[in-house]
Chains A and B, each alone.
Chain A
Amino acid sequence: MALKIIETCVNCWACEPLCPSNAIYEAKPHFLIDAKKCTECEGDYADTQCASICPIEGAILSSVGEPMNPPGSLTGIPPEKLAQAMAELQAH
């Protein structure tokens, strides 16, 4: 059981100092979580720390591969609204 950082990570460093297990490390092209070290904060915090500060929806996945912060959960932008706005921009 471990969380995972994927390519939408913007390398903002917010999660790195919070990890109680020092499982997060800087890497190219983006930060990574050492699966052997990650405890999902069990025993340390009620909430997983990296996923609680990460500003990017979908950048951190749970142990079963689901986004810890699904689309719309952090920005408040309804996913369909975002898709519509992006489609309109593409059309121009």
Chain B
Amino acid sequence: MELTVLGQDEQPEVKSGCSAGSCGSTDDQLNHLPEEIRQKVHNHPCYSEEAHHYFARMHVAVAPACNIQCHYCNRKYDCANESRPGVVSELLTPDQAVKKTKAVAANIPQMTVLGIAGPGDPLANPERTFETFRRLSAEAPDIKLCVSTNGLALPDSVDELAKHNIDHVTITINCVDPEIGAKIYPWVFWNNKRIKGKKGAKILIEQQQKGLEMLVERGILVKVNSVMIPGINDEHLKEVSRIVKSKGAFLHNVMPLIAEAEHGTFYGVMGQRGPNSKELQALQDACAGDMNMMRHCRQCRADAVGLLGEDRGAEFTLDKIDQMEIDYDAAMVKRAKVHEAIAQELEAKQSAKVQSGIVNVQFGEPAKVYRPVLMAVATTGGGVINQHFGHAKEFLIYEASKDGVRFIGHRKTDLYCSGGDTCGDGETVLGMTIKALEGCEVVLCSKIGYEPWSQLEEAGIQPNGEHAMEAIEDGVLAVYKEMIENGQLDEEATTQEKITA
């Protein structure tokens, strides 16, 4: 139940969040950004939806202290099976963090980004956080550095951040109204006092907004994260989105509240529910009118390693890193080649898209508009349908419609806990998967067993293994066209209308 300092105990396997799936925006949405910003984010898995299929990130847990309390966080919690923000298994010193970063960068050349995200607030631990950045910017100059913060100490840290070449900052902003803030933040530590309630929330909100403005003034990219808490800030987040956009944040990431009684958080214990995927998508769509929305966030742990959606943290524990000999200069050469190859692949893909006109296709008779269809995809990365149904820990969700194919988000089959039968109610994995895919009509994968096939069909989800190894968008589009040709979307259009009516 405590934050382990420096590998005192052998830690069990670390599962971390932001797995190979999603923490960013769709490439289509990035296309609206100025060239300068696109250059900065094109290989950042947490900022670019397209990049997250190819590039990896890691977090180093050097920042244990926090200066506020959020109702969705419990500082006592550390479960190795949990994949949620604020959870870590091994706290690192800056020296250990530098060593780990180099080890990961040498072994996973796709790694482009090093973030400090906790488990507390990075800027409430300025010495540890900035020492880590200072050393990495000198010793591993090919790695992008980023930081996420609750914003309370941000205005005081902006100059230091600018000094270390940190060009990406994420601020978690859940509200701009202290009345609402008081329902999310029970206290903040400010000017040597613990300040509770509305007064504390007001200080936090002011600091967040000031910090956002100061970062934008200095040309540092700002992403805003918001936790969607039904009944508390869900409607309000539309206003938050509008305000942060107008102040120059370039991306908004609305994430669902994670709240379970066993986490011991205020919301968990008090029975506050998180949003379902439909509610989350509706809010993301409502905010999208105002700004670039990020839909691929995996809400990863503060010590996650690898592609979003996967966690390779267990390969890089302190005792394992100690055994590794790292020649970082050689690693940088190799990394540059790998990044170049990925960049070429992405470019080729992009121009193929433009040529085939997938981006905006019309189907069937021009006058006829078919309803959109949600499809789930099993993938291990690379933007390809390449995973066995039974191996998928999460599915990427795409919507096919008259406007083409767009990425909507991801669904985890086991949510954020991978403890399995040992710490759940023993519901079958297949049952949980089918529940997670609610609303999807098709699931695309490389292969699938007989048993899950029939159960999926019974649940109204058509399994499809015919597009294995194809690009995701191509596969989804092909299936959508097939559904139109088979007349599957003709009659249902009316039933669908009835349902919504």
Chain A positions near chain B (C-beta within 8 angstroms): 8-14, 17-18, 26, 28-30, 45-47, 49, 52-53, 55-56, 74-77, 81-82, 85, 88-89, 92
Q: Are B189 and A77 within 8 A (Cβ)?
A: no
Closest 7 CB pairs of A and B: A14-B65, A52-B194, A55-B75, A12-B64, A53-B189, A85-B269, A85-B261
Q: What A residues does B76 contact at CB under 8 A?
A: 8, 10, 56
For the complex, is B352 an interface residue (Cβ under 8 Å from A)? no
User: What are the residues of chain A within 8 A of B194 when measuring CB–CB?
Assistant: 47, 52-53
Whether the pair A13, B69 counts as a contact (CB closer than 8 A) is no
Q: A12–B69 contact, CB under 8 A?
A: no
B236 to chain A, nearest CB (A): 20
- Interface flags, B285-318, vs A, CB<8A=1, else 0: 0000000000000000000000000000000000
A56 & B75 in contact (Cβ 8 Å cutoff)? yes
Out of A8, A12, A75, A88, which one reaches B261, CB within 8 Å? A88
**Provided the pairs A47-B193, A55-B66, A74-B69 are in contact, do residues A14 and B266 lie with their beta carbons within 8 angstroms?**
no
Given A52-B189, A56-B76, A13 contacting B65 (CB threshold 8 A): yes
8 other A-B residue contacts (CB within 8 Å) besides A13-B125, A76-B186: A10-B2, A45-B192, A47-B193, A52-B194, A75-B266, A81-B269, A82-B264, A85-B268
Bound-state Cα–Cα, A29 to B9, Å: 12
Please give, as numbers and ranges, the residues of chain B lying within 8 Å of A77 by CB-CB distance: 266, 269-270
CB pair B266 A76 closer than 8 Å: yes
Nearest CB of chain A from residue B277's CB, rounded to whole Å: 26
Interchain nearest-CB distance for A87 vs B (Å): 11
Q: Which residues on the B side are within 8 Å of A74 (C-beta)?
A: 69, 186-187
Chain B positions within 8 Å of A75 at CB level: 69, 71, 74, 186, 265-266
Highest count of chain B CB atoms <10 Å: which of A12, A17, A30, A92: A12
B471 at the binding interface (Cβ < 8 Å): no
B residues adjacent to A (C-beta < 8 A): 1-3, 5, 8, 64-67, 69, 71, 74-76, 91, 120, 124-125, 127, 186-187, 189, 192-194, 261-262, 264-266, 268-270, 425
Closest-by-CB residue of B relative to A30 is B2
Which chain A residues border B425 with CB–CB below 8 Å? 92
Query: A-B pairs with CB below 8 Å: how many?
Result: 80
Q: Write the nearest CB–CB distance from A25 to chain B, whole angstroms.
A: 13
Give the residue among B1, B5, B268, B269 with the most A Cβ atoms within 10 A.
B269
Contacts of B187 in A (CB 8 A): 74
CA distance A57 to B91 in the complex (A): 22
- Bound complex: CA A49 to CA B67 (Å): 12
Instruction: Specify the chain B residue showing the minimal Cβ separation from A53.
Output: B189
Which residues of chain A have C-beta atoms less than 8 A from B71's C-beta? Answer: 75-76
A–B pairs, 19, beta carbons within 8 Å: A10-B75, A12-B3, A14-B64, A14-B66, A14-B120, A14-B189, A45-B192, A47-B192, A47-B193, A52-B194, A53-B189, A53-B194, A55-B66, A56-B75, A56-B76, A74-B69, A74-B187, A75-B265, A89-B261
| Inter-chain contact B8/A14, CB cutoff 8 Å | no
User: Which residues of chain A are near B264, meaning CB under 8 Å?
Assistant: 82
With contacts A76-B71, A81-B269 known, is A11 near B120, CB below 8 A?
Answer: no
* CB nearest to B5 among chain A residues: A11
A83 CA / B342 CA spacing, docked (Å): 53
Q: Are A11 and B64 in touch, CB under 8 angstroms?
A: yes
A28, B66: Cβ atoms closer than 8 Å: no
What are the residues of chain B within 8 A of A53 when measuring CB–CB? 65, 67, 189, 194
- Tell me the nearest residue of chain B to A12, going by C-beta: B64
Residue numbers in B under 8 Å from A49 (CB-CB): 192
In the complex, what residues of A have CB within 8 A of residue B268's CB?
85
User: Cβ of A88: which chain B residues have Cβ within 8 Å of it?
Assistant: 261
Best-surrounded residue of A18, A46, A49, A75 (most CB of chain B within 10 A): A75
Chain A residues within an 8 Å CB radius of B124? 14
Whether A9 touches B2, Cβ cut-off 8 Å, given contacts A77-B269, A82-B269, is: yes
Alpha-carbon distance A30/B186, docked complex (angstroms): 25
Quick one: closest A residue to B1, CB to CB?
A10
A9 nearest CB neighbor, chain B only? B2
CA–CA, A77 and B125, complex, Å: 27
Q: How far is it, in angstroms, between the C-alpha of A8 and the C-alpha of B266 when the chains are bound?
A: 18
Q: Please state if A10 and B270 are interface contacts (CB–CB under 8 Å).
A: no
Q: Which residue of A lies closest to B124 (CB)?
A: A14
Q: With A13-B64, A76-B186 in contact, do A52 and B269 touch (Cβ < 8 Å)?
A: no
Give bound CA distance, A74 to B196, whole Å.
9
Q: Which B residue's beta carbon lies closest to that of A28? A: B8
Q: Is the CB–CB distance between B193 and A52 below 8 Å?
A: yes
C-alpha gap A29/B268 in the complex (Å): 28
Q: In the complex, A29→B2 CA distance in Å? A: 9
Q: How far is the CB of B124 from chain A (nearest CB, A)?
A: 7
In the complex, A13→B66 CA distance in Å? 9
Residue of A nearest to B63 (CB): A13
Known: A56-B76, A89-B262, A92-B425. A14 touches B67 (CB 8 A): yes
